[in-house]
Homo-oligomer: A and B are copies of this chain.
């Protein structure tokens, strides 16, 4: 590599753009965000054929119902998504790697297979799936946003694994019949709620290009929000699936650790064992998350990933949950949810507060009980997570930034140059974390006395972030997402509504707070149009139940919000 890190990043940025076929390159420069805020919907549709729009606005479940039965060809579906992904990247800068040619070749082979066998290769036959740029795909580079990773394997030059490795999840997706075609942008270090790096710059929110798409799985969310992908996989160590999902109006699942295989994926602070990063899907519909999650479990990841658990998809839990839902429609003592509007530290912006009102009204309309969620101190959880993320004193991120000498974005929540914790200090931290988890598990169980259902709450709802998307460099408080990682709970972001400057006015009595006076950052005009998402949180390993509830509640909330 020659040149400064700026040159190297810029060269990589240009090389990505060059992989977009000229027929899909935008003729005119994209207008500035001040003139063109929302590039979803009609804006991006203008560049597509009616057929491409039909395909790309079909959700993953309906796509596979057609591609696994020969109604749609894999090739046509793949080309449509490649085209739309190319447009998405030009609009909001969301891709790190483009491999449309390989995808089209792959799609052709799938069509040949189907023609020959009259059967699909697997449950995801012909479905394009996008991947956060932590997954290794054969023939393709992984930079994870680091300039120093260009032309290397995870920063190691001349490593034989460069472009030859494939992450376990990638192998499983191929076995399931999925078509891989692009990798999406991340903040370098991954430890940020926005997506910014020295290669592709800043990934913008497609619904409001004045704002962030969220992070760290920001490119995934931006791409999917523009329907450049029907669904993909991100990772979440502090909110990195749920934040961008909420910011971009999508569903996003943060499963408990060990369900989706992390084996062979690149990571930050790999080997930090106190709060594990987990992989989860993002998609425009809840049932698409279920499709992707369930399909991966069919591959028995525990036979290939030593940290994955032998916990197949549990249909009985889905059936039990559906039975509860059915019964709740006549018996109001069947389902009960906790609702947490405020975590005791950071008051949320008006659009989020309104989103929670909508959710509460929906629950009441559905005959569900709602109790106030008053858990053990979340500020304790947030402080613990901070100490855990800072445990290596920034050793890992400094190492990777120093490979090229590039700068660290202000958004990164881990500091450089801190003191590394010692083994005995980490052990003490692990004990404190476990004690917090124990308090929380006991609180959850104790709600059985309050719900009137004879059981503890079925889940609770709370903000995923204090704001609807965020003005760049104003993400000050990740407490609403990170407590879930500390607890290793299952959580799903649900889209609720959109910020509306006419309704969502900062109250005259808005207070300052200890988390950055976030209320003063609220600007109704700037936030206008940003998606409002909230979080549905379940106990550990409750993916089957949460996905079933998310599909039910998400559909009902959408009716009330629109």
Contact = CB atoms under 8 A, between A and B. Distances in A.
Most buried by B among A304, A310, A428, A488: A310
Nearest to A440: B306
Given A271-B430, A273-B430, A306 B423 contact: no
Interface string A442-460: 1001000000000000000
A377 to B, nearest CB: 16
A392 interface: yes
A44 interface: no
8 contacts: A304-B442, A306-B441, A310-B540, A311-B311, A391-B423, A396-B424, A421-B422, A421-B423
Contacts of A263: 438
Interface in A269-286: 269-274
Interface string A54-78: 0000000000000000000000000
A306 B438 contact: yes
Contact of A424 (B305, B420, B424, B440): B420
Contacts of A306: 434, 437-438, 440-441, 487-488, 540
Closest 9 A/B residue pairs (Cβ) = A271-B427, A306-B437, A271-B430, A392-B423, A271-B431, A420-B422, A395-B424, A391-B423, A420-B423
A24 interface: no
A398 B273 CA distance: 25
A541 interface: yes
Contacts of A367: none
A436 to B, nearest CB: 9
A451 to B, nearest CB: 15
A363 interface: no
Most buried by B among A393, A429, A441, A442: A441
Nearest to A432: B271
A437 B305 CA distance: 8
Nearest to A307: B434
A276 to B, nearest CB: 10
A283 B91 CA distance: 67
A122 B529 CA distance: 58
Most buried by B among A263, A307, A424, A428: A424
Contacts of A302: 540-541
Most buried by B among A269, A273, A440: A273
A303 interface: yes
Given A271-B431, A427-B270, A430-B273, A304 B421 contact: no
Interface string A133-146: 00000000000000
A309 interface: yes
A424 B392 contact: yes
Nearest to A390: B423
A428 B273 CA distance: 10
Contacts of A366: none
Most buried by B among A271, A305, A541: A271
Contacts of A307: 434, 437
Nearest to A436: B306
Nearest to A435: B306
A121 interface: no
Contacts of A304: 441-442, 445
A324 interface: no
A270 B541 contact: no
Most buried by B among A274, A309, A311, A488: A309
Nearest to A388: B423
B392 A427 contact: yes
Interface string A2-28: 000000000000000000000000000
A540 B307 CA distance: 10
Most buried by B among A270, A303, A426, A441: A426
A245 B186 CA distance: 51
A541 B395 contact: no
B441 A423 contact: no
